[in-house]
């Protein structure tokens, strides 16, 4: 089990050029959530939804990890088996920064999934409604992302990891999307020290022991240095 669990949200990727959802000029000010991020929206207009995620996928391919992603990869490299990233992000910047123990609770832009048989495969840059599934050949392919109203991935494993963690941080997440917003309470219940890193206060700021206000690229490397200083390198978990 990981001793350090880090929850990340869209804010950690903002300085890499990927828009957040709720900030001023965020994606929700440009798109209707109901139309592009719900199963009902997909049924109504699959082309619109594919176009939305095709654009996100292109942006993601052009983006590079920033100093916050690389600092978290350094933490994992220094404390193998002791750190876990739980990300709400569908981009792949944690992986490209070198992090390996990552749970993408809201899925991944770079994966496609068959809505009929559930087969998952690497997403092409451009997806379209009539793309056939490589397994069952039905034209029911969708981005492998979790839409509003759907159940996030790996919640049982996340709960088990939080029950055992000693240090928890939430980076660049607004605390408005559940169940992610409630993970800090699970970490607290386990007795973990909880730090929020954000450019502003959030709906769940009151649930944290400490707050580091500032851009993730500046603040996360400092928090990683703090976590390394208080970690026990000999206590590697499984
Ligand atoms: P959100 O847009 O609701 O909130 C972003 C948070 O990040 C805000 O609290 C904001 O103050 C903070 N922030 C912005 N820039 C920051 C910076 N440079 N440093 C530190 N903090 C910064 O995002 P959310 O809480 O992750 O939840 C929304 C949903 O958005 C998630 O389900 C996620 O799947 C999806 N999403 C993902 C991406 C991505 O994969 N990169 C991008 C947009 C949205």
Read off the pLDDT of residues 69-94 as tens digits, 9 standing for 90 and up.
Answer: 999 999 999 999 999 999 999 999 99
Atom 43 of ligand 1, residue of closest alpha carbon: 20
Total number of domains constituting the chain: 2
Q: Return the higher-pLDDT residue of 209 and 237.
A: 209
Q: Is 82 in the pocket of ligand 1 (CB under 6 A)?
A: no
Q: Are residues 207 and 137 in the same domain?
A: no
- Domain shared by 75 and 179, yes or no: yes
Return the DSSP state at 120.
Answer: E
Asked if 169 and 6 touch (Cβ cutoff 8 Å), the reply is yes
Look at residues 108, 112, 82, 113 and name the one whose alpha carbon lies nearest to residue 93.
108
Q: What is the mean pLDDT of the chain?
A: 94
Q: Would you say 215 and 199 are in contact if contact means Cβ atoms under 8 Å apart?
A: yes
108 CA distance to ligand 1 middle (Å): 15
User: Same domain for 118 and 232?
Assistant: no
- Domain-ending residue, one of 91, 125, 145: 145
d(CA 203, CA 190): 21
Residue ID of nearest Cα to ligand 1 atom 14 = 11
Based on the fold, state whether residues 115 and 206 are members of the same structural domain: no
The model's pLDDT over 178-226, given as tens digits with 9 standing for 90+, comes to: 999 999 999 999 999 999 999 999 999 999 999 999 999 999 999 999 9
Per-residue pLDDT at 237? 45
Above 80 in pLDDT, residue 234? no
Domain that holds residue 187: 1-18+63-106+150-238
Which of 50, 94, 95, 106 is flagged as catalytic?
106
CATH number, domain of 41, equals 3.30.1600.10
What is the DSSP track for 97-111?
A: HT--SEEETTEEEEE
Closest-CA residue, ligand 1 atom 13, reads 11
Do 140 and 236 fall into the same domain?
no
Please say whether the beta carbons of 159 and 50 come within 8 A: no
Ligand 1: does its nearest atom lie under 6 Å from the Cβ of 143? no
Q: Are 206 and 135 in a shared domain?
A: no
pLDDT at site 207? 97
Query: Are both 12 and 76 inside the same structural domain?
Result: yes
Q: Provide the pLDDT for residue 231.
A: 82
* For the chain, percent of residues with pLDDT exceeding 90: 88
**Same domain for 172 and 209:** yes
- Name the band, by pLDDT with cuts 50, 70 and 90, for residue 165: very high
| pLDDT on residue 230 | 86
Contacts of residue 123, defined as CB under 8 A and 6 or more positions apart, other chains included, come to 57, 109, 110, 111, 112, 143, 144
- Identify whether residues 9 and 126 lie together within a single domain: no
Question: Contact 195/210 with Cβ under 8 angstroms?
Answer: yes
CA of 133 from ligand 1 middle (Å) equals 31
Are 99 and 202 part of one and the same domain?
yes
Verify that 194 and 96 share a domain, yes or no: yes
- Write the DSSP assignment of 6-52 as a string of letters: EEE-HHHHHTTT---SSSTT-HHHHS-HHHHSSHHHHHH-HHHHHHH
């Amino acid at each position: 089990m990981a001793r350090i669990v880090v929850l990340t949200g869209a804010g950690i990727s903002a300085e890499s050029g990927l828009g957040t959802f709720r900030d001023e000029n965020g994606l929700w000010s440009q798109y209707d959530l109901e139309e592009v991020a719900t199963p009902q929206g997909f049924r109504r207009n699959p082309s619109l939804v594919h176009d939305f995620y095709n654009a996100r996928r292109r942006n993601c391919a052009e983006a590079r990890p920033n100093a916050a992603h690389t600092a978290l990869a350094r933490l994992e490299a220094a404390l193998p088996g002791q750190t876990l990233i739980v990300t709400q992000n569908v981009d792949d910047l944690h992986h490209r920064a070198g992090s390996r123990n990552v749970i993408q609770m809201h899925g991944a832009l770079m994966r496609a999934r068959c809505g009929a048989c559930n087969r998952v495969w690497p997403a092409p840059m451009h997806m379209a409604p009539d793309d056939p599934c490589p397994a069952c050949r039905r034209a029911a392919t969708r981005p492998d992302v979790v839409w509003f109203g759907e159940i996030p991935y790996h919640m049982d494993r996340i709960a088990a990891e939080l029950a055992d963690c000693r240090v928890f941080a939430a980076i660049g997440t607004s605390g408005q999307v559940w169940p992610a917003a409630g993970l800090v309470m699970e970490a607290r219940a386990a007795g973990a020290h909880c730090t929020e890193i954000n450019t502003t206060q959030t709906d769940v700021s009151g649930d944290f022991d400490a707050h580091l206000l500032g851009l993730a690229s500046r603040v996360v490397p400092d928090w990683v240095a703090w976590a390394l200083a208080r970690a026990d390198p000999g206590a590697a978990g499984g």
